Structure 1
Amino acid sequence: MKRQFSLAHLTVLGCPPPEMTYIAAMTGYDYVSIRPIYMGLPGEPNYDLAANKEMLKQTKRALADTGVKLHDIELARIYEGVDPKRYLPAMEIAAQLGGKAVLSSIWTPDRDFYIEKFAELCDLAKQFGLTVDLEYVPIASVNTLAGAVDVLHAVNRENAGLMIDTHHFHRAGDCVTQLQSLPREWFHFAHICDAPGEIPTEKDEMTRILREARSYVGEGGIDVASIINNMPEMVYSIELPNIENAKTFGYAEHARRCIESAKNYLDAHPRG
């Protein structure tokens, strides 16, 4: 079975979804993973397709022109006071464009609240045929595999999934043997990238690498193969923000290097 890859939003942060789709097609990706949920972060472009009808039209055209498909949308964060219904317009767009999944993460320490709201998010997504895949992030409230597993067991929703990012898995100090015991149906896609092997002790440095200085697969210190090979085969979404490389090579060449390095690495580290 041919491996399938998606080009993730952060890898080509400055590209709106139509341009991103053409870059994905040009460089050999099967899917795109876009961010139509505007988060309001400093310097973040607004790709809210529900509010920008012209950009939505151009995105539909790009998908039709290229044959690239939409895989997932991000980022349906659970944070203090959030109403998951605010994500409905983006989920409607995802379904309209043929998407499969909604990426989520949790940014409040209030367990009762985030369990309730994550379950609600899953229920809202179900009507669109979408999974909701929980990503644990080192700088978020749910920041370990154990924490994410706790959420999935608690909500007990058929369309809830676990999204492993190789960077975050390494930074959390998680063990690959833990992956083997988890339900296979939880795994829908993974984020792959590399990064320096030394885990930063300062949050600012952790955040800097996470958001703008990840490495091509095989060029860092993460044992990516062990993580990937202890999960089922699935779509690999390459989330590899690297501001310096994007400026040096341009977004298209950066995206090409991302997928080429990932393919070469995975070919060299086959499943046992």
Structure 2
Amino acid sequence: MPELPEIETSRRGIEPYMVGHHIVKAVVRQPKLRWPVSGQIIALENAPVISVQRRAKYLLIELPDGWIIGHLGMSGSVRILPEFIEPGKHDHVDFILSTGQVLRYTDPRRFGAWLWEEDLETSHVLKHLGPEPLGDEFSGEYLFIRSRAKKTLIKPWLMDNKLVVGVGNIYASESLFEAKILPQRPAGSLTESEAQRLVLTIKKVLQRSIEQGGTTLKDFLQADGKPGYFAQELQVYGRSGEPCKICGTLIESEKHGQRTTFFCRHCQS
């Protein structure tokens, strides 16, 4: 699944091709996604793009009358292509641009969404989200206060979007490893210094991944079609049974909240 760095990479990739230009129209070949494609999107006509933003794992395209909210689901991607390139089987939505190009949404599993909101403040998909992990609101003090008396394991707790958005499975495992914290510990066991270290590590890991263009494991491609390269830097994720790059101990894996967690029992405590 594309996580926050992949969405931010996509946002940065499509922004120069959209802002200051117009969406001439939307071509919706498959309206039945996670939720039906909004009728306002299907009816778009010659709408100027004001900005392209991101909130959590949602792409936000600002138009004069409202916002297009895009979610890539489990296997979706967006790319900028010349308009004349014929769509494939899983190319479900095209936004035809005034530049002669197209923003093409591809999603083999159709778990993504393209929705319309006049006001983001009232959006049902955005209103319960926690702070952005790269913002100032997400701090060591914030994490420590929220962790008090929490019996939930640290790893699934970090992945709760009401706590903080965008720390998905890959980056939770990687951040806990770099912060030297075992994922099996209850969140309430975090000390103030550990909470501070964990927040700084999360920010560093996410920023590093964004700079590398995301993590290509199966389906993710950047907006220009190139893969992300952060997978080459993964320390524990997907490496169960392989030696730790730091100490040589074999990486272990366990299921936490129906997601696989990877860790080094020697380096983390």
**TM-score, normalised with respect to structure 2:** 0.31
Structure in which a larger fraction of residues adopt helix: 1
Give the structure-1-normalised TM-score: 0.31
The structure whose Rg is larger is: 2
